[in-house]
Structure formats: C-alpha cells, structure tokens
Amino acid sequence: MDSRVPAELERKIDKAIGHYPPDQKRSAALPLLHLWQEHFGLINDDAVTWIAAKLGLQPINIFELVTFYPMLREKRAGKTHIRVCRTLSCAMAGSYQVMENLCAATGIQRKTDPAAAGHTPVSVSPDRNYSIEFVECLASCGTAPVCMVNDDLHENVQPDNAMSILSQPAEKPALYPPHPLEQRIIFKNIGRSNWKTDIKTYLDDGGYDDLRKALQMSRAEIVNEVKTSGLRGRGGAGFPCGVKWSFIKPDEKKPVYLIGNADESEPGTFKDRYIIHEDPHQLLEGIAISCFALNARTAYIYIRGEFPEGARILESAIEEAREHKFLGKNILGSGFDVDVHIHRGAGAYICGEETGLIESLEGKRAYPRIKPPYFPAVLGLYMCPTIVNNVETLCAVKHIIAMGGAKYAQFGRPNNTGTRIVCVSGDVERPGYFEIEVGKVTMGQLIYEMAGGIKWGRRLKAVIPGGSSAKVLRGDEQFKIKQKQPDGSTIDVEMSVDELPMDVDSLAAAGSMAGSGGVIVLDDSRDMVWVLNNINEFYAHESCGQCTPCREGSLWMKKITERMLNGGGVTEDPHTLKTIGDNIAGRTICAFGEACAWPTQSFVEKFPEEFAAHARKSIPPPLPPENTPRELIEREQIPTSPLARDPGWEKAGADAVI
Ligand SMILES: Cc1cc2nc3c(=O)[nH]c(=O)nc-3n(C[C@H](O)[C@H](O)[C@H](O)COP(=O)(O)O)c2cc1C
Ligand code: SF4
Ligand code: FES
C-alpha cells in the first residue's frame, strides 16, 4: 500500500471499487477521484498515478477525467469553497451581483478567462480562506439565486447580504402544500407535517407495499401495466416507458442493468432533487419494482456531483432498505436479488444524456455514443442491455403498480397520461414545483394562478416551457393547434400561450417542447439578447466537444451574443446566429446539438427587432424589477425592453438582414 494513502481512505476506495463488476473496475475512477479530492483537497500527479495503478489503467485514463469534469481540481481551493450559480434563473435573480459582493467581501480578484485560469476558473482569496467559482444550474432555480458553500446549498441568497452565507448555516425554505389545481401523487409527501426521510416513516405510510405486490406479479404483467398506463419518460424526450422496457428480451443472455438518471442539470428543472431529498424510499421502491420487471440485478443511480447531500440521503436509504430486505439477496423471500449503488457525477451537463451517462459510469469522459448502434437497451452499460429512466419516471412506476395502469391512464389526457412535476422559475411572484395532471392545466393557469402571476408591475414577454433547451414562446403568440375530437376527427383550434395545455403534444404542436418540465418565465424587463447570451454561455461551456458543429457552433453563438451585448455587434449578427444554429441541429452525435441550437434559432426568429437593434448598437440593459423603486414603477418611468411589437423596435431593425 502507498504510505501516503491512509488506511481509512483505502478502505473507502476498496468499498467503492466493490460497487462494480470485478472486470469493470474502471467504473470506480470517478468515485476514487472524489474520495481523493475530499481527502487531499486536489488531484495531483501522484493521485493520477496511484488511482490508475489501483484500477489497472494508464495514467492518461485518469488524467483525461481530471481535465473533463469541472468539479475535479488540479489546484487547491480555499478552506471554504463557494459555488455561485450563474445560469438563467439565478442570473435574473441577481447572482452576478452575489458574485461581485462575495468577491469584494473576501478580497478575491476573480479570474474570468478560462483560457488563462485553466478549465475551471476557481479564484482564491489572498489568505486562502476562501475560493469562488461560477457554476451552471444547481437544480434549485425556484429559489434563485443559489450558492453552495462547501457541500451546503444556500437558497434565496440576497445579493446585498450575500456574506451571510459564509457565517450562517444554510436554511431550507419551507416546503409548501399542494395548490388546488395540483394532483399530487409523487409529491404527496412533500411538505407533509411530520414527514421524514427514514424508512420507519415510509413504512408507516404503506411504503414498500407496492414492491410486495409487484413481486407477486409476473414480469410481463408489470411491463403490461406500465404500457397500459401510457407513462411517458419525464427526463426530456417523453418516450413511452413501457415500450422502452419491452426492448429488453425476457431471455437476455447478458446481465440487464437499470440506471436511474438523477443528473438533473437542465436549467429550469428542480424536481428530482426534491424527490431525492424528501422521499428517497419512494425512488428506491420504484427502482426495485422496475429491476424486478426487467430482471435487472444491479441498478445504479447516477446522481450529479453537485448533489452531495442527495447522495448521502440515498446511501443511507439504501442501507435501511437492505436491512429490511427490500434490497440485497432474495428480497422479501422472492428469490430475486437486486442491489442499488450510487454513482456521483462531477459537474458535466452532458452526463444527463443517457449514452454520455453510460460512458461516464464506465469511468470515461461523458462522450455520448452514436445511436444506432448504441441504443442502451441493446448495447448499454458494459455493452449489456440497459434501461435508463429519469427519477420521476421510476417513481411513477411505483404508483402504476399501486393503482393499476388503467387507473393511472385516467389522469391527464389521452397520450399524455398521469401526473408530472412542472417547475416554474424566473419572473413570477411564487416560483416553485407543481405536480399537475398532464395537459389538464394550461400555461396561463400555471403562471397566473399557481405561480402567482408575473412579478408586480410587469407583463409576460416570453416563456421557455421545457428547460432552457426548449424553443422560446412569445407572450403574445397565437398558435393553430390540431385538436382531436371525440369522434376521431381533428379540427384546428386557435390558442394563445396562456391557453396551451401543459403536455408533451400541445407544446410540441406550439413549436416547442415539454422537455424536462422546467418553465422559465420572462417578463417585459428582460432583454432577449442578454437572456440568449446567458443560455449560450451554458451550452458553450457544456458541449462535450466531440462534434465540430456543436463544439465550434456553441462557442461562436456565445461569442456573437456577447459582442452584441458589449456594443460590438454587426448588422449580419442575427442572420449569422440563425445560420450557425441551423448548421448544428441535426448534424451531431447527440441531441445536445438541438438543445443548443433551438434557443438561438427561436430567440432570433421570435424577437427579430431586438436582435436587429442590438446588432446595430448596444442597448443598456434594463433595470431588473427587484432593483426598481416601486414609486418609479407607479410613475411608469421604468426602463423596460419593449414588447416585440413595439413600433420603435421594428423601425430600428427594419433594414437588418434576418
Ligand atoms: C443533453 C441532454 C441532457 C439530458 N439530461 C438529462 C437529465 O439531466 N436527466 C434526465 O433524466 N434525462 C436527461 N436527458 C434525457 C436522457 O438522455 C434520457 O432520455 C432519459 O434519462 C430517459 O429517461 P426517461 O425515459 O424516463 O425520460 C438528457 C438528454 C440530453 C440530450
Ligand atoms: S452534440 Fe455536442 S454534446 Fe453531443 S456529442 Fe456532439 S459535441 Fe458532444
Ligand atoms: S439553480 Fe441557478 S439557474 Fe437553476
């Protein structure tokens, strides 16, 4: 044993290696890097060599991870490390101000150029007590702006009082009871008085009864119930869960794996974190049932690295479930063995894409695989049949077994069944999570009734309906949607944004998508070039870099919106932006290509006058409403970015090429 590695650390390392098949030790690379960094504070050359030797790999196999995953550090951070979320909802709520104030208070001169500062620009205070970095969406957009201080998430950080996060413990905002328009099934325990995450509370509420029931059913029966339920995946693509499951043959020769996708990184989305933090056994029960249905003896929960508390909660829930024989060998005397392991990511959005996730779980850079041939159900983890499902989808499975597929299908609308959790953030009075019957609530009800309406004194300018990848919809847009009638015929129905049902098909018909259920609301104070630039920065940072159109195009799009904001725009910029977007979408290995192209394509198309005007000269950003004195609003002197139809803007953009 290497004398510098203490016995306790090596014990943890050996335990982590044991979570993977003996011939797949490489999978333990990320867990080992986490353990090393937690102990020594950084990953240096010794770490790379030692871990490579331990796993029977070459040092380059470890080093390439250190340079890929933003959470891994080659240089020591300060004693207290602060992560400030810079993504859209947090930026709109003042996170750049939070960053400035924290730097001023800690004496940190922040490095802003990643090229000079290394791939992770962490800045350290002169006394080395503090370090700080901007990070991308921390899946807490409803309580923006948010920061992490070491492992603790601080929500609703007040920019003017940002220093308090360094002296006061993180406070969890109160969880709230359901709104009358909600139908809580998966979130039924969220915010319940006396609800705890321990197994006793869960069992007292009838927990694991659905697993008992499932173990009495045949595998085919369970898959059929899930098919009958019409459940569509809640991770983004909306693929029917039962259909995906039926790709797994009953007589598979290779081991079958199930992966719970808890990467939750799509900006605007913050539902899976609540499930994990507040009701972890619900997820484990859903996973155990799904494993039985698929004959999968091993499941991994791939949880993003920025959820350290979530990982600890799940680890302890797994221990409890093992003690009660809900996991492990011969669960509940059924003869079925199943184990669940937690695998932590290290800060890359692309790990949410299922094949990128699988590569990452195999201990490599999260480079998505080409489909075909690498459909996970055929050639997934370790080239074995694998089902990847979102956390919320797996929880829904438990309720489908409880009530039966047919009853579940009665919730929601045909082809859009059940309930789903929609997250609302941005310029609304009451941001938050709402579990709705799919398609039974309209966008207008969601924004104006459930989320309390647009911020005081403002109007709806635009809405991004399904996470930042979804195409933006204008607040005054009208759609012609084909609607099916009871007799099977279809008619064209005119709908405003407010009237759009919140379901996969309606949002697709409106030219956007329901995606991961993250609704970001933009009011009339928002400058659309500023908003797109924030989104572009996210995608330019998160592209894995494998495909030239995505790697180069995402960067160019960011550079163009950045220069437009800084007064260096040229008349052709909107056209160039659109052309770059058009040349990324459909030309890449994975759907990240579309995810980064769609915002640019749609923002430029829907707000041509703003982009044209910005291309000609930079316009000072309007004051955010929270910084605008109320008297000013009352006297109607607020400088706002006018609505798209404002004639002044149309004139400004009249001769622009778009
Ligand atoms: C760029 C990208 C990022 C993604 N991120 C996530 C994610 O964070 N969580 C998730 O569940 N699915 C994410 N997905 C979708 C997954 O690839 C996959 O479709 C999903 O996990 C399948 O689960 P479901 O069928 O239950 O929806 C992402 C897809 C893409 C293209
Ligand atoms: S589209 Fe982008 S994220 Fe996806 S594989 Fe290509 S470079 Fe990577
Ligand atoms: S948590 Fe900051 S944007 Fe999502």
| Dihedral angle sign, alpha carbons of residues 586, 375, 268, 161 | negative
Q: What per-residue confidence (pLDDT) applies to 637?
A: 42
Q: What per-residue confidence (pLDDT) applies to 498?
A: 97
Average of per-residue pLDDT across 186-199: 94
Query: Where does the pLDDT of residue 120 fall: very low under 50, low under 70, confident under 90, or very high at 90 and above?
Result: low
CA-to-CA distance for 259 and 255, rounded, in angstroms?
A: 13
Give distance in angstroms: CA of 357 to centre of ligand 2: 13
Residue 295 token pair: 């004959």
Query: Where does the pLDDT of residue 486 fall: very low under 50, low under 70, confident under 90, or very high at 90 and above?
Result: confident
For ligand 2, residues with CB inside 6 Å are 350, 368, 543-547, 550-551, 588-590, 592-593
Residue 530 token pair: 């500023």
What b/e string do you get for 61-81 counting C-beta neighbours within 10 Å, with b at 16 or more?
Answer: bbbebbebbbbbbbebbbeeb
Q: Whose CA is nearest to atom 31 of ligand 1?
A: 591
Give distance in angstroms: CA of 429 to centre of ligand 3: 17
Cβ-contact 254, 295 below 8 angstroms: no
Q: Whose CA is nearest to atom 8 of ligand 2?
A: 544
Q: What percent of the chain has pLDDT above 90?
A: 86
What b/e string do you get for 525-552 counting C-beta neighbours within 10 Å, with b at 16 or more?
Answer: bbbbbbbbbbbbbbbbbbbbebbebbbb
Lowest mean pLDDT among 107-116, 578-587, 638-647: 638-647
Average of per-residue pLDDT across 444-465: 96
What is the four-CA torsion angle of 345, 349, 352, 356, rounded to 10 degrees? -80
Arithmetic mean of pLDDT over the chain: 92
Q: Whose CA is nearest to atom 6 of ligand 1?
A: 352
Residue 588 CA: which ligand 2 atom is closest?
Answer: 1
| Dihedral angle sign, alpha carbons of residues 394, 464, 147, 114 | positive
The kind and range of the H/E element at 493 are strand 490-496
Residue 584 CA: which ligand 2 atom is closest?
Answer: 1
The kind and range of the H/E element at 612 are helix 608-616
Query: With 60 as the cut, is the pLDDT of residue 650 above it?
Result: no
Residue 164 token pair: 């308090």
Query: With 90 as the cut, is the pLDDT of residue 507 above it?
Result: yes
Give distance in angstroms: CA of 246 to centre of ligand 3: 36
Average of per-residue pLDDT across 87-99: 97
Q: Whose CA is nearest to atom 6 of ligand 2?
A: 547
Q: Whose CA is nearest to atom 1 of ligand 1?
A: 592
Asked if residue 345 has its Cβ within 6 Å of ligand 3, the reply is no
Give distance in angstroms: CA of 562 to centre of ligand 2: 22
Separation in Å, CA 159 to CA 119, 154, 166, 325, 538 = 27, 12, 13, 48, 22
Intra-chain end-to-end CA distance of the chain, in Å? 65
Q: What per-residue confidence (pLDDT) applies to 115?
A: 62
Alpha helices in 41-143, H assignment, sequence order: 45-55, 59-66, 88-92, 95-106, 114-117
Ligand 3 pocket: which of 84, 97, 99, 137 to mutate (most atoms within 8 A of CB): 137
pTM: 0.93
Query: With 60 as the cut, is the pLDDT of residue 294 above it?
Result: yes
Lowest mean pLDDT among 65-74, 545-554, 639-648: 639-648
Query: Where does the pLDDT of residue 649 fall: very low under 50, low under 70, confident under 90, or very high at 90 and above?
Result: very low
Compute how many other C-beta atoms are within 10 angstroms of the C-beta atom of residue 406.
Answer: 12
Q: What per-residue confidence (pLDDT) applies to 323?
A: 98
CA-to-CA distance for 86 and 106, rounded, in angstroms?
A: 19
Asked if residue 89 has its Cβ within 6 Å of ligand 3, the reply is yes
Asked if residue 5 has its Cβ within 6 Å of ligand 3, the reply is no
Query: Where does the pLDDT of residue 380 fall: very low under 50, low under 70, confident under 90, or very high at 90 and above?
Result: very high
Q: What per-residue confidence (pLDDT) applies to 1?
A: 44
Query: Where does the pLDDT of residue 598 fall: very low under 50, low under 70, confident under 90, or very high at 90 and above?
Result: very high
Average of per-residue pLDDT across 504-513: 94
Cβ-contact 445, 455 below 8 angstroms: no
Cβ-contact 90, 141 below 8 angstroms: yes
Separation in Å, CA 138 to CA 141, 204, 263 = 7, 32, 10
Residue 357 CA: which ligand 1 atom is closest?
Answer: 17
Query: Where does the pLDDT of residue 639 fall: very low under 50, low under 70, confident under 90, or very high at 90 and above?
Result: very low
Q: Tokens 């319940």 label which residue? A: 192
| Dihedral angle sign, alpha carbons of residues 506, 508, 509, 512 | positive
Q: Which residue has the higher pLDDT, 319 or 112?
A: 319
**Which ligand places an atom closest to the C-alpha of 144?**
3
Average of per-residue pLDDT across 40-69: 97
Asked if residue 90 has its Cβ within 6 Å of ligand 3, the reply is yes
Q: What per-residue confidence (pLDDT) applies to 230?
A: 97
Residues 6 or more apart whose CB falls under 8 angstroms from that of 371 comprise 355
Name which of 372, 336, 343, 339 is nearest 358 in CA terms. 343
| Dihedral angle sign, alpha carbons of residues 591, 343, 226, 465 | negative
* pLDDT tens sequence across 227-259: 999 999 999 989 999 999 999 998 889 999 999
Q: What per-residue confidence (pLDDT) applies to 628?
A: 52
**Which ligand places an atom closest to the C-alpha of 369?**
2
Q: What per-residue confidence (pLDDT) applies to 117?
A: 56
Ligand 2 pocket: which of 546, 548, 552, 587 to mutate (most atoms within 8 A of CB): 546
